[in-house]
Amino acid sequence: MVKVLRIFTYMVFFILALIYFIPKSSVYYYVEKELELYNIILSQEEIVQNNFSLDINNAQVTYQKIDSAEIENIDVKIFLVYNSIDLVNVKLSSMASAFIPTKIDILNLKYSVINPLHIEVEASGEFGDVKGEIDVVDRNLSMILSPSELMLKKYKNSLKLFKKNEQGEYEYDKTF
């Protein structure tokens, strides 16, 4: 029993040391380079490497040479078996204001090896609350929106893309 406990302790220590010493900024630059293949460019960001996470502050997002969003903070946590990305205070471009509200308070993406084929998505903002998942294999996005009053009043045309369910929530499925 003592031997098993010792092996378990060494494994936990090794994993924590690996997470602590992994060059998080290098992982970020690799992801940034991969995003460029899809014409998504992050610029003017300030990168702060913490012990177990990476903070990216004041990022400007450009998609196909069009300024698309400003993100106040991106908190990336890489724990090998569980990873999460929190985007805080996202302001979409004014071009999007014709279709959806432009302020997103928080957007959370979670990935776990327990469910490796899906990425969980949660968001809240002026549009209301969204919960959903991305199926990595089938390349499918499924969302359930609990719309805000603003969304119901001002963005009725955008809600037509969703299917209303019995609980008054709106469902969206899209393959990309």
Q: Domain residue spans in the chain?
A: 2-175
What is the per-residue pLDDT across 154-163, written as a single tens digit (0 to 9) for each? Answer: 998 999 999 9
Rg for the chain, CA atoms, rounded: 19
Q: What is the 8-class DSSP label of residue 79?
A: -
How many other CB atoms sit within 10 Å of the CB of residue 76?
20
Instruction: For residue 121, give Cα distances in angstroms to 7, 73, 87, 133.
Output: 35, 17, 11, 5
- Determine the distance from the C-alpha atom of residue 134 to the mean position of all C-alpha atoms in its chain, rounded to a whole number: 11
Choose between 78 and 118: higher pLDDT.
118
Q: What is the H or E stretch that residue 55 is in? A: strand 53-63
The amino acid sitting at 162 is: F
**Statement: residue 92 has pLDDT above 90:** yes
DSSP 80-123: SSEEEEEEEEEEE-GGGGGTS-SEEEEEEEEEETTSTTEEEEEE
What is the per-residue pLDDT across 132-150, written as a single tens digit (0 to 9) for each? Answer: 999 999 999 999 999 999 9
User: Residue 98's pLDDT band (boundaries 50, 70, 90)?
Assistant: confident
**Statement: residue 81 has pLDDT above 90:** no
The amino acid sitting at 149 is: E
Half-sphere exposure at residue 65, Cβ-oriented, CA atoms within 13 angstroms: 0
**Statement: residue 72 has pLDDT above 90:** yes
Cβ–Cβ under 8 Å, residues 74 and 84 = no
What φ, ψ does residue 50 adopt, rounded to 5°? Answer: -100, 180
d(CA 102, CA 94): 7
**Statement: residue 69 has pLDDT above 90:** yes
Q: What pTM value is reported for the model?
A: 0.85
What φ, ψ does residue 156 adopt, rounded to 5°? Answer: -65, -35
pLDDT confidence of residue 101 = 93
Comparing C-alpha atoms, which of 139, 143, 141, 140 is closest to residue 123? 143
